[in-house]
Structure 1
Amino acid sequence: MAPVLLAATPEGWAARVCQRPLELLSDHAHLERKAANNALELLNRRPPRVGNEWSAELAQIAREETQHLLLVTRILFRRGGALNRVHRNPYAGLLHGHIRFGTGAELLDRLIVSFLIEARSAERFGRLALESEDRELARLYRGLRQSEQGHAAAFLELSTAASDRASVQKRLQEYIEIEAGAIQAQSVGFTLFSGL
């Protein structure tokens, strides 16, 4: 099971976003906070037939996301930036809008959404690492890319503990198309999930 993102990030996106590094760092700090909260929330949703490895994996993801939050905010603050008080992520909102809340499939959907957000993050950080002329930020983006790839793989593996493989594959294919539409619908901005 090796799904790919249907919509590649357009050429020129990374160069544009790199023009406003403090906005991107502020946005990403909030994304790391939300990712840590998501992992902690999922930690308590362990399926009955699954052992403690579920909780251990999600605790590790939450820890790494929190470490990234600390790393990103240190760079942001040292460079004179600040966290925005309000943070919106319309891309994630579109993905969450398709979660089948209140059903037995809710957990599977949440894991697939988490997988796709991490996969898209990894793809975008790869672009930023190649495009950034700021050596410190390029190094940061390379490290984040590798971590996000690992988190994506972990969420995909956890999804197979939440449901049978056929259901995972079917829903994943549906969500891959949803994700492509969601990322292409984003307006121009200087955030990780902005459009071009």
Structure 2
Amino acid sequence: MSLLLSPEAATARIRWLAEPSSAAWLEQALAHPMAVLIDHAHCERKAAGAAVQLMFRYLCEPGLGEVLSPLAREELEHFERVLALIKARGETLQPLKAPPYGASLAALVRRGEPQRMLDSFLVSGLIEARSHERMALLASHSPDAELRRLYGDLLASEARHFGVYWLLCEARWPRPLIMERLQELAQAEAAILRTLHPEPRMHS
């Protein structure tokens, strides 16, 4: 099967992303819907954990807990919804070997402060932006009506989540500095995805 993305789908309409997802990724994801669904559950769990980790790392940072705590709760609600669908289909949440995506992005986070905080926000935002873009593709192209509905329902939340990380950056750094670093990280994120992981994943 060969998939051709429409001009709209082939364009990264999210300003965080340097490049759109490939047709090869979409073809792989559509061919293995349950593997992607199970991985999606893991992604929601990890996103909640990442938000909580930032809250504890920057415990006294003004305004951080007020926005990241609701975000973490919403990610866990998404996890529960995806988990329920997995179970309804007679499957269980299985451990999956992670693709290099997350670890490769984490390795780009600088260690000194305040650069570490900025990079952490931007990397989290990039992951949310990519999730939003790929869920939009699945919501448009999946032959499974239930999966189309699931991914479509989660889109607005994902867009809001990467918006949260953008606002956290804007409240703390000048926009030119944010944009310069975002462009660097976005190019690196796109480069990671140019090599399709052999196992289907949300971020393969």
Flag whether TM exceeds 0.5 (same fold).
Answer: yes
Out of 19, 22, 43, the residue aligned to residue 31 of structure 1 is 43
Aligned twin of 1:78: 88
Residue 17 (str. 1) matches residue 29 (str. 2)? yes
Q: How has the CA–CA distance of structure 1 residues 156 and 47 changed in structure 2, closer, same or farther, with 3 Å as cutoff?
A: farther
8 Å Cα contact 2:39/2:96 also seen in 1: no
Residue 154 (str. 1) matches residue 164 (str. 2)? yes
Instruction: Tell me the matched-pair count.
Output: 191
Structure-to-structure mapping, 1:6-155, within 5 angstroms:
6-46=18-58, 51=62, 53-155=63-165
Q: How has the CA–CA distance of structure 1 residues 33 and 156 changed in structure 2, closer, same or farther, with 3 Å as cutoff?
A: same
The separation in 2 between residues aligned to 1:63 and 1:4, in whole angstroms, is 24
The separation in 1 between residues aligned to 2:174 and 2:159, in whole angstroms, is 23
More off after superposition, 25-34 vs 83-92: 83-92
Q: Which runs of 5+ in 1 are unaligned?
A: none
The separation in 2 between residues aligned to 1:121 and 1:95, in whole angstroms, is 14
More off after superposition, 76-85 vs 28-37: 76-85
Q: Which runs of 5+ in 2 are unaligned?
A: 1-13
Q: Secondary structure at the match of 2:121?
A: helix
Q: Secondary structure at the match of 2:23?
A: coil
State the AA in 1 paired with 2:135: F
Q: How has the CA–CA distance of structure 1 residues 103 and 185 changed in structure 2, closer, same or farther, with 3 Å as cutoff?
A: farther
8 Å Cα contact 2:170/2:178 also seen in 1: yes
State the AA in 1 paired with 2:192: A
- Output the aligned Cα RMSD: 1.9
Aligned twin of 2:4: none
Post-superposition shift, 1:184? 1.1
Structure 2 length-normalised TM: 0.86
8 Å Cα contact 1:17/1:189 also seen in 2: no
8 Å Cα contact 2:99/2:197 also seen in 1: no
Post-superposition shift, 1:15? 3.7
Out of 161, 180, 184, the residue aligned to residue 194 of structure 2 is 184
Post-superposition shift, 1:79? 0.4
Post-superposition shift, 1:3? 2.7
The separation in 1 between residues aligned to 2:175 and 2:167, in whole angstroms, is 10
